[in-house]
Structure 1
Amino acid sequence: MQLFNHLPKKSLLCTIAFVISAVVYSQDYKLDNNTSFMKIEGTSSLHDWHIDVEKQTGNLVLEQSETISVKEINLTVESESLKSGKSRMDKNTYKALETDDYKKITFKLIKTSEIKKLSDNTYELIGTGELTIVGNTKEVTMSLKLELKDGKVLLSGKNEIKMTDFGVEPPTALLGTIKTGDAITISYKSTFKIK
């Protein structure tokens, strides 16, 4: 503290207050699979369909000071944990996703372009990330809702992608008479807890 002995008390207090206010609090959260939800929806020439994701892992790093910033979001989905409740549809899905060679689908946030405060603990985040499916990685931009609640981070959103953008041939059935639409919608409500 000798460094500060020559400063007037008022200046010393201002300096300490400035240092404290500049402290950034960083926290790493882990995705809780049991309380998280992800669904993939699409269309076909016969009817609309959906598949639920049963196994996902990930983490989120949040920095808080006077504002918040999201430094990391990493998500991994086990490809064969996609379940429709229909074994034939699941088989066609796994074939399209080449699950013998590609066991996982991953997402990694690479930048945040905007964070808008909606209420005391709720924010809208616009970010860009790398989505990897069957070994093909593409940048996707998405709008997410982030809520801080009871020591947890709740992340939710809905995004549309095209399967062919990732080299995935939309599945067919009954010798090609039933065709799946190229566009799919991914909806999610993820819960992250402190590690």
Structure 2
Amino acid sequence: MYKLVLVCLLALFVNAKELTLVDGEINAHTEVFGDSTIDPKTEKIVAQVTKEDSLESINGNFEIEALSLISDNKDRDQHMYKVLNVVDSPKISFKINSVSKVEEGYKINGILNLNHVQRPISTDATINEVANLIKLSGNFSINLTDFNLEPPTMFFLTVRDQIDIKYSFNLKE
């Protein structure tokens, strides 16, 4: 029985095709109440993604170095890195657990790992397959406090707890 299970698992693994990240971008957005917005982004993404026979079979992991998040204000970026605790937790990752077809797109469920805290995330996504290219994009929001991070306050200004995240990836089979 053990050998049969092992053969079945190997057959599933062999059918999975590795997808290569051609390019991608992750954008974050929050606000300083009464002042301005903070909009860091990165294109430095490491992806380990596979797909079997359908888009719903996409599985894998996306990872960034927190220090790769850069906004238009380098001084503010230094404060952002402190808030994100980059010294103790330099990487941010998202592991896809499941992809399911919904009315006008897809629902991706996974685990976001930030500041050594793992939280389930559900995101609405658009996934299109053209030739050998898979275009995957979507968005979701998190609260810093859910990851044991405190939104900073400076004088009378407070940064919003909610961070809106938008992502776009081009993956090639």
TM-score tier (shorter)? 0.7 to 0.9
The number of aligned residues is 159
Q: Which residue of 2 aligns with 1:30?
A: 20
Shift of 1:60: 2.2
1:101 aligns with 2:88: yes
Aligned equivalents of 2:38, 2:55: Cα separation in 1: 37
Q: Mean alpha-carbon deviation: is it higher for 164-173 or for 91-100?
A: 164-173
- Is 1:43 paired with 2:31? yes
| One-letter amino acid of the structure 1 residue matched with residue 156 of structure 2 | T
Q: Find the aligned partners of 1:117 and 1:141 in 2 and give their Cα distance.
A: 15
Give me the TM-score of the superposition, normalised by structure 1. 0.75
Contact 1:125 1:146 in 2 (8 A): yes
Indicate yes or no: 2:159 matched with 1:189: no
Segments of 5+ residues of structure 1 without an aligned counterpart are 1-23, 119-123
1:135 to 103, 116, 126: 116
Deviations 1:56-95 (A, max 9, x none): 111322221xx54224131001100000121111100100
2:44–2:68: 8 Å Cα contact kept in structure 1?
A: yes
1:157 to 107, 132, 138: 138
2:70 aligned with 1:83: yes
Say if 1:39 and 1:50, in contact at 8 Å, map to a contact too.
yes
Residue 52 of structure 2, aligned match among 63, 73, 97? 63
Percent identity among equivalent residues? 23
CA RMSD of aligned residues (A): 1.9
Could you tell me which residue of structure 2 aligns to residue 3 of structure 1?
none
Q: CA deviation at 1:128?
A: 1.4
Deviation per residue, 1:10-38 (Å, 9 max, x gap): xxxxxxxxxxxxxx953210223xx3111
Residue type at the aligned position of 2:109: T
Q: Which runs of 5+ in 2 are unaligned?
A: 1-13
Structure with larger Rg: 1
Q: TM-score, normalised by structure 2?
A: 0.83
Contact in 2 for aligned 1:171/1:180 (Cα 8 Å): yes
Q: Deviations over 1:140-194 (max 9, x none)?
A: 1111111112311111001111111111111233xx3221000111011111123
8 Å Cα contact 2:32-2:38 kept in structure 1 = yes
Q: What is the aligned partner in structure 2 of residue 168 from structure 1?
A: 149
Question: How far has the Cα of 1:116 moved from its partner?
Answer: 4.2
CA distance in 1, matches of 2:50, 2:103: 18
